[in-house]
Each structure stands twice: as structure tokens, then as C-alpha cells.
Structure 1
Amino acid sequence: MHSTSRRHFLRLAAITAALSSSSIRAFAADRTIKIGTLKLIHGITPYFYEKFAPAGVRIEVIPFETPTDGKNAVATGTVDFGIFGLAAATLGGANGEPVVVIAAACNRGMAVVAGKDSGINSIKDLKGKKVAILPGSTQEVVILDRMAAEGLTIKDIEPIRLSFSDMAAALARGDVDAYVGAEPGPGISLANGVGRIVEYPYSTPTGSLNMVLTTSREHVDKDAELVKTLLKIHRQASEFAMKDRDAFVAMAMAKLGQQKPSIEQAAPNVELTWNIDEQFLKQANYYGSQMLAKKQIRQLPDYKTFIDASFVKALAAS
């Protein structure tokens, strides 16, 4: 066996063995794990973590308004883990920041929404319109890719910078003609009768890949037990929320302050997940190439270290 392959095999075997229940029970008691997440329905998973945390482990969830805020919190050690879009994570990796993707968090959760009476029925119809987009978000890269496929560039629209939480209200006021949003925004626009879905933009090679679970390089290198414990919790919480739709909707209502009709419109457009498979890696690499082509990053991250799938592979095998 090649020495590099052998080292990888031995590391994977060690992680798998350490993921046994006895190892999880051995995790330091009376420890608080801080996790940042976005104020979005597809960032809801951490609020279920407490249900699956080992005895003595406390979960502190810290909500962030933008993906960049979440990424910075992970990079600086303000939180132990962070859930945010692949765009912000890729930016951090490309800049050499100590941010490592250790698991998937959410697929889908995006939508291009237009005013009900705007006459916007397709991506091409966005030409000349005021379109809310959050710079630095996964949605920004995806919509630019979709527009390019339709022969449009950013110069063909009037981009308006807005946070995700402000988009539905801006559309209702008539401040924008459309927005490229994140749930529950689209669900709100549908429920209040103001908006209509132009497209769920999953037809690009990026697919429905959206948000990821990240941690710092220091935790990966020096506190693997913490990473393994959190990933087991993350998997259980993700799978529970996807199986119990009522619990998912109730938690989203409680934490996001939205009405049930809005959340029920948004929920089908959200897939909470955890695993990193070959499709994930292919989509993530393509996504990075798009960011580079659009000069949103100056270089690609080192994917051998930026995405560490060893922990989830070990978890899947345990």
C-alpha cells in the first residue's frame, strides 16, 4: 500500500474506532459547544442538537445574520462550529483562513422570487429589474451562473444588496422587483400572496448544494474528539428533523418568529443533511471554479485540507 494511502487508511480506521459509543461517553463532561448558524429555516438543525447531546455537554446556538459573520466567527474561534453557505466557506479557504468543511448541512433552501404582478416569469425576465442579492452568498454565485446560461450578466440587472431576512419585506413594499433568497423568505412571499416562484435554481452543476458545517483547523488537528462528538449529534439532529416534519416546522416557527403558513410553504424546499459524498465534492469543486472565474476569489482553496471528509466517512462506517 502506498505510504500516503496507508496513512489515510490508518487515520480513517482510528477515527472510526473512536466513534464508538464508549468514546463518545468519554468526551469531557460539563463542556459547552458553541455553534453559529444563520437565521434561516435551513440553519435550524443546531436547535435540535441539545436533544442528542451526551450527558454533561451543553449546546449554545449563536444566530448570525450573514454567512460572512458566521465564517468569521469560526475563523476567530468565537464559535466552535458554524453552519453557513458554501460561498463564505470557500472564500475563507481561498484566503487561507483556518476554516474547514467537515460535513454537509443543507441542500436546496434557495429560490428566485418575483412580485406576483411583476411580469417576471423566467430568469431572462430579470433583465432591467431591481433584484435583491446578498453579496458573498451561495445564492449570488448560483444566480450569476443561471443568468450566464440565459445570456445575461450582472450588468443586465440592477442588483440591490439586502440580507436574506429583509428580502421578503422589500418585495412586499415594492422596493425590489425580485430577489434571490433563502428560506423562509420565499415561503413568506408565497404565504402572504405577494410573491411567486420564478425558479428554484438547482439546474446548474452546483445542483442544490447550499450550506455546510465547518470548524476551525485547530479543532480538526488538536481536538478530534470534539469534532467527532458534534458530528454524531449533527447527523442525529438532521435525520430527526427531516423525519419529523411537525417538529421541524414547530422549531422553525419558534426560532425564526414566522407564522405557520410561511414555514409550511418553505419546508418542502429544505433538505437537512450531513454526509459528504462524491457528488458533494464534485459540486463543491465546480462551485469554487465559478467563484474564481467571477473573480470573487483570487485562488482556489486547497481542497485536500479545506474539505475534510474523514470524519463523516468514519461516522457513516460506524
Structure 2
Amino acid sequence: MMNRRRFLATSAATAAATAIMPMPFVRAQSDTTIRMGALKLIHSIAPHFYEQFTPAGYKVEVIPFESPTEGKNAVVTKSVDFGMFGIAAATLGAAAGEPIVVIGGACNKGMGVVAGKDSDISAISDLKGKRVAIWPGSTQEVFILERLRMEGMSIDDITPVRISFSEMHLALARGDIDAYVGAEPAPGVSLATGIGKIVEYPYGTEMGALNMIFGAHRDTLVERPELVTVILDIHRQASEFAMANPAAMVDMAVMKLGQDRAAIELSAPNVELTWNFGETELTQSKTYAQHMLELNQIQALPDFNTLFDTSFVNALAQGA
């Protein structure tokens, strides 16, 4: 039986040994997670390169969305911290009074007017009387309606068919439509399979090649400006890397989006990943909003002073 003297001696020795043992490693602070919304399109492939440009102390979680509206709504409801979606979705939200702010660019181009390979459609004017797939409320809708106007035509001169972007190529292959105004990779798929041909890349309007933007909730800019700076710098580096390494962009799109390599290789040259948002983009965006108003897609112009905040990308551009 252990007596009191031996017990006290053993306890003292144990305490001394414990004192000199190394304490288990405890991380002082976990990484800050940034939730980034991205569409399941090659236009939105840049976030999948973010990991290699994310600084210590941060982690980016890429959350995929099927449609621009879903991505925009996620930002508005703060389900994500930032998101990429079309200028159409951003303008619609702002015109409805939602606290959405465009803080940078995401992707220009990425659109295409496609017709059946053996059809007699070789120009926008040839769409007269044809069945044309258009997704209502999309950026593509505004572009094609403006191109029709420039050719002395209107929506009444064609038969518009409501089909989602992902179904347009299949509808053309089945013969359900004569042409479509789509988003990559659909044009690339139609080219790669020999089903379709490019009628036009519709970038010859005053709206240029404007397409997708980088958006945030207004509260985020006020409450977490340091986070905005961090994510935009990550986005800048990732976008520039992908554009400088098209093979890597194709590989990433094939891996993350599960799309055919031949189609992606044809789509990639029609995609311009970007991060900046300067005077040219601001002017194009305002022109775009005016077209939306004229088309009754919005009932009033949004407040441009609250819809756009280019101060962060301007600071990045100066330091780049």
C-alpha cells in the first residue's frame, strides 16, 4: 500500500514531468473561408484556379450555380460572399432595388449565334422567319435584339423559342430550331460535332463583348473591405494565369465541368477572362441597361452610383 509520503513524492514527480513535456500544437486561428459563387460554364472557370493564388490565412470555397439568377440571388441573400454572373442578372437585381454591387470584371465574349451546318443561314439577316432559341432575360437576348435592330429587324421577324443554354445544341441537332443564341461551350459543341456553324459572334454593338461581372453584397464592401481586396487580387492573378495558359484553362474546364475536350478547345478562344472594370466597361454597362429598359426587361434604370464600385479594381490596377 502506498503511504502518504510516497504518494506526495510520486505526485510531485509527475507534475514536474508534465511541466517539461511539450504542449500539443494548437493553431492560433483557423483560415478565413471565402465563399465564391461560380457558374458551371467556362466563363466562370477562373475560381477553380484560385487555390494556387490564395494567401496564407484564407481559403476559397467555390460554390457552383446553374444560372446567373441563382448566382446573383446567392450574393443578395449572403449565401456566398462573392459571385460571377451576367451583367443582365446584376442589372435586373439592381433595378429591383437589390443590394448588388458590380466590383470587377469576370468574363467578356463567350457568346455565339449558331445555325445548322447545312442551313441557308449565314448572316443575322438570314434569321428572318426562322426558329431561334433565346433564353429570356439573358445577356444574349439583349445582344441579339440589338443586332436585329441594327439589321432593320425586330423580334417579330423571327420565331423566338425559349430554351435553356444547356439544351440549345441538342435542340439544333434534333431540328427543333433553326438557330440559337448561346453561351459557350454550346457553340463549341455544335462546331466540334459538325452539327452547327457560327453565324456571328455578336460583339459589334455598342455593348462590345461585355458579358459576366464580379459581384458582391453592398454590406460586404462596407463591413469587410479587406476581404474584397484579397479576393479581387486572387481573382486577378487566376484570370491572368488562365488567359496566359490556354491549355491549362482547357484542362481545368474538362476536369471541373466534365465537358468534351474537343468542344472546349473550340470554345476557349471565344472566352476572355478578365478582372478589371474601367470606363469602357462602365459605359457598355450603362448602354446595356438602357437597352434593357427599352426592351421592358426593367421598369427603370438602376442607380448606377450604387450598382458600380470600381475603387477596389482601380487600386489593384495601380499596384499591378
Q: What TM-score does the superposition give when structure 1 sets the normalisation length?
A: 0.89
Does residue 129 of structure 1 match 2:130? yes
Tell me which amino acid in the other structure corresponds to 2:211: N
Q: Secondary structure at the match of 2:211?
A: strand
Q: Would you say the 8 A contact 1:103–1:213 is kept in 2? A: yes
Q: Which residue of 2 aligns with 1:227?
A: 228
Maintained 8 Å contact 1:68/1:136: no
Question: What residue is the counterpart of 1:65 in the other structure?
Answer: 66
Q: Indicate the structure (1 or 2) with the bigger Cα radius of gyration.
A: 2
**Separation of aligned partners in 2, 1:163 and 1:63:** 17
Contact 1:65 1:163 in 2 (8 A): no
Q: Determine the C-alpha separation between the residues in 1 that align with 2:293 and 2:213.
A: 19
Deviation at 1:158, TM superposition (A): 1.6
CA distance in 2, matches of 1:173, 1:244: 36
Q: Distance in 2 between matches of 1:175 and 1:50?
A: 42
**2:310 equivalent in structure 1:** 309
Does 1:270 pair with 2:277? Answer: no
Q: Which residue of 1 aligns with 2:25?
A: none
Q: Is the Cα contact below 8 Å between 1:67 and 1:136 reproduced in 2?
A: no
Residue 179 of structure 2 corresponds to residue 178 of structure 1: yes
**Gap regions ≥5 residues in structure 1:** 1-27
For 1:179 and 1:43, the matched residues in 2 are separated by 21
How far has the Cα of 1:79 moved from its partner? Answer: 1.1
Of residues 253-262 and 108-117 in structure 1, the stretch that sits farther from structure 2 once superposed is 253-262
The corresponding residue for 1:146 is 147
Distance in 1 between the 2:173 and 2:62 partners?
Answer: 30
Letter in 1 for 2:125: K
Quote how far apart the aligned CAs of 1:156 are.
1.7
Partner residue in 2 for 1:196? 197
Rounded to whole Å, the distance in 2 between the matches of 1:134 and 1:255 is: 24
Shift of 1:33: 1.2
Q: How far 1:56 moved relative to its partner?
A: 3.3
Q: CA deviation at 1:224?
A: 0.6
Please report how far the alpha carbon of residue 143 of structure 1 lies from its aligned counterpart in structure 2 after TM superposition: 0.5
Q: Is the 8 A contact 1:131 1:159 kept in 2?
A: yes
CA contact (8 A) 1:29 1:55 kept: no
Q: SS of the counterpart of 1:209?
A: coil
Counterpart check, 1:56 vs 2:57:
yes
> More deviation in 198-207 or 155-164?
155-164
Secondary structure of the corresponding residue to residue 113 of structure 2? strand
Q: State, as a whole percentage, how many aligned pairs show the same letter.
A: 62
Which residue number in structure 2 is paired with residue 4 of structure 1? none
Gapped regions of structure 2 (runs ≥ 5): 1-28
2:169 partner letter: A
Q: Deviations over 1:101-139 (max 9, x none)?
A: 000111111100011122111111111211111111111
Quote the Cα distance in structure 1 between the aligned partners of 2:144 and 2:69. Answer: 18
* Counterpart Cα distance in 2 of 1:175 and 1:56: 52
**Alignment pair present for 1:44 and 2:77:** no
Residues 138-177 of structure 1: CA deviation (Å, up to 9, x unaligned): 1110001001111221122221122211111221121211
Q: Residue 303 of structure 1: CA displacement?
A: 1.0
Deviates more, 1:208-217 or 1:31-40: 31-40
Change (3 A) 1:71 1:258: same
The one-letter amino acid paired with 1:171 is L
1:93 CA drift (Å): 0.9
Cα distance between partner residues in 2 of 1:29 and 1:123 = 55
C-alpha distance in structure 1 between counterparts of 2:155 and 2:39, whole Å: 26
Structure having greater relative contact order (Cα 8 Å, sep ≥ 6): 1
Measure, in 2, the Cα distance between the counterparts of 1:53 and 1:302: 33
For residues 309 and 249 of structure 1, the distance between their equivalents in structure 2, rounded to whole angstroms, comes to 30
Query: Which residue is 1:18 aligned to?
Result: none
Runs of 4+ aligned structure 1 residues displaced above 2 Å come to none
CA distance in 2, matches of 1:128, 1:315: 48
Partners in 1 of 2:64 and 2:119 — Cα distance?
Answer: 33
Amino acid at match of 1:213: F
Amino acid at match of 1:136: G
Instruction: Measure, in 2, the Cα distance between the counterparts of 1:56 and 1:172.
Output: 49
- Map 1:294-305 to 2 at 5 A: 294-305=295-306
Q: SS of the counterpart of 1:135?
A: coil
Distance across 1 between alignment mates of 2:257 and 2:316: 30
Q: 2:308, 2:256 → 1: CA distance?
A: 29
Structure 1 residues 227-246: aligned runs within 5 Å: 227-246=228-247
CA RMSD of aligned residues (A): 1.1
